[in-house]
Each structure stands twice: as structure tokens, then as C-alpha cells.
Amino acid sequence: MPDLFSPVRLGEVDLANRVIMAPMTRDRAGPADEPTDLMVEYYRQRAGAGLIVTEGVQPCPAGKGYWRTPGIHSPAQVSGWARVADAVHAAGGRIAMQLMHVGRAAVRANKAPDAETVAPSAIACPDPIPGPDGVPVPTEMPRALTADEIPGVIADYVLAAQNARAAGIDAVELHCASGYLPMQFLSSNSNLRSDGWGGSVAGRIRFVAETLAALAGAIGPGRVGFRICPGVTFNGMADADPAETYAALLRAVDGLGLAWCHLIHIPNAGFDALDLVRANWSGAVIENCGQTRDSAQALITAGKADAVSFGYAWIANPDLVDRFRMGAALAKADRTTFYTGHGDDARGYTDYPAMKG
């Protein structure tokens, strides 16, 4: 019977265990949004994870919304991620890159001067976002993408995935949660289009379905996963019927042979998201959100999840798998250093020690 420490194969990626490192924004990239030496060390330290899913990485300049988040669209960025991948692999780990286009969830001061803010519809994100100094400010009004432009956005994702693979990254994960561009297409309150990319459920799921199909065609379906969170309201999301929307999405992409569905599992009135996924998706599931070692083990044992991801626990515990295996206490992270905006500041980033002995 499998447990948290059993190997598992997700698509084309073989994992040594089922303890996943969830993607977490850390605001530590260099001035050109390139991975730094500290980022290389940060990920290397956590290579004991069955799979590391990186922080959200913008596939193109328009996809950036937060200060000092990394990209994968310039030679310097690709080179930086190659160093990250090499370090993780040398330590015996596997690493996937989360591709994150924020769409309307953007602050002008955080973006390149010539980078537009775009979305399915010209509706601003109502939630403020931290600027370069860390103080939340109102988001920028987006420009609605034209129907002719949307295939170009999908092409940006494809090139990003190809760049990630060229850098030695094992797989990519399409970020379809947290109110970013793919979720803006999915949600009925942020996608008010009347063309083939909106309106009906079939229209609203089209962008995500076609992007996943394009990624699968470019780098192989076994190296592509996706992350969802049905019902989340972060960054102004309010879908009229998330159960209907996500059931349709899951059914639409189920036949692509993708590597995993990464579920952020939050409470919803009227349906359970994990049950929804299992009823409409036949592939591997990574469960996420508030799990403990014991609850994660129970999910694996019951066959409800193939792997479980942890976020905050990885910040202060670079040896999290070893601590879980030994039943050791977990160190606590300092929330004041979660986001610093400085690529050369190790505090709260690479200075958490592993267990002694």
C-alpha cells in the first residue's frame, strides 16, 4: 500500500516520494527577473521533495504583476533557471515550473514600462496588490484582449514551456487559480465576452483547454500539469457556478494525457472540490491546502490523492520530507520575511537550517 514516502510516476516524471513543494511567491528574483544565486540555493536545499513546483513564473512581460517575480522569456532568465534545475537534479530532486500570467492582477509600477496589462474583459481586479515598496496599491485597468490576440497569448505560454524544458526543468504547471489570467477566462464575473472565448461555460473554459492542449503538443502531455481552485474568491473571482465550470473543464482536458491536476482544496457550499475532481478527471491528483503529515498520509492511503503538496511548511523546513519521515517537530517560519523584494537578502529564505544529526 502506498504512503507519503512511496515513489510515484506523474506523467513522464518519476518522483522519489509523494511530498510535493507547492508554488510560493517569494519576490527574490534579480533586477531582470532572473533567478539569482540565492534562488539556486533555495531550491537546491529543498530537493528532497518528491517534486518542487516553483513559484509562479511569468511567460511574457505582460504576464508580470508582482515585484521581483521571475520570468522565463529572456536568455538571462533561461540561463538562471538552468542553474536552478542543475542544482536540484544534482541533489537528486525533480522540479516543475509553474507558468503564471497574472492578467489583470497587476500593478503598473511592478511591470516593464512597455508591458501591457491584459485580460478577457476590461474589468479591473478589485483587490490591491503590493508595489515595489511592499505597500498594496490599486491595480491597473486591463485592456480586453481581442479574439485575434488570444492565440498569441497561448503561444507565449508554449514558448515559455519550451524555454523551461531547454533549461532542464522536468515539467510545467499551468496556474489556473488565484484569480490570474486563466481563471479570469474561467470565471463568469471576469469574463463578459460574447465571442467564442466567453459567454457560455464552453466558451469560458476554451482558453484553458486550448492552452493545455498547446502545451501538451509542444513538450509532451506527460510533462504538463495544471492547478485549480474551484470557488476561490481571491483577486475578485466570483463564478456563478464553479462546480459546473470546473466539471466541464476537467472533462474537456481529461483525454489529453496530462501529468496531474493540482487542486487547492477549499470549502465550497454545495460540493466538495476533491470529489468533483475525482468524478470528472481520471488522471493523477495532487492535493493541497492545510494538510498535515497525518492527513496527507490518510489521503494517500485512501487513494483520494496521488501526492500532497505543502507550502509554508517548506519555508522553514528545507528537510521537510526527513522531518515527516522521522516524526520530528517542524520549525516555524518568520512571516515578516516571506517577501522581501531583494534578491540578495538570505534572511528568511536560505538561512533556515536542516535538523542536526
Residues annotated as catalytic are 180
Residue type present at position 81: W
Q: Are strands 51-57 and 19-21 parallel, antiparallel or unpaired?
A: parallel
Residues in the chain: 357
Rounded-to-integer distance, Cα 352 and Cα 54, Å = 18
Residue type present at position 227: R
176: Cα separation from own chain's centroid: 8
Greatest CA separation for the chain? 62
Rounded-to-integer distance, Cα 164 and Cα 152, Å = 18
Strand partners, 260: 225
Nine-digit cell string for 160: 515559455
Nine-digit cell string for 245: 465550470
The H-assigned helical ranges of the chain are: 37-45, 75-90, 150-166, 181-186, 201-204, 206-219, 242-253, 273-280, 293-301, 312-316, 320-326
Q: What is the CA radius of gyration of the chain?
A: 19
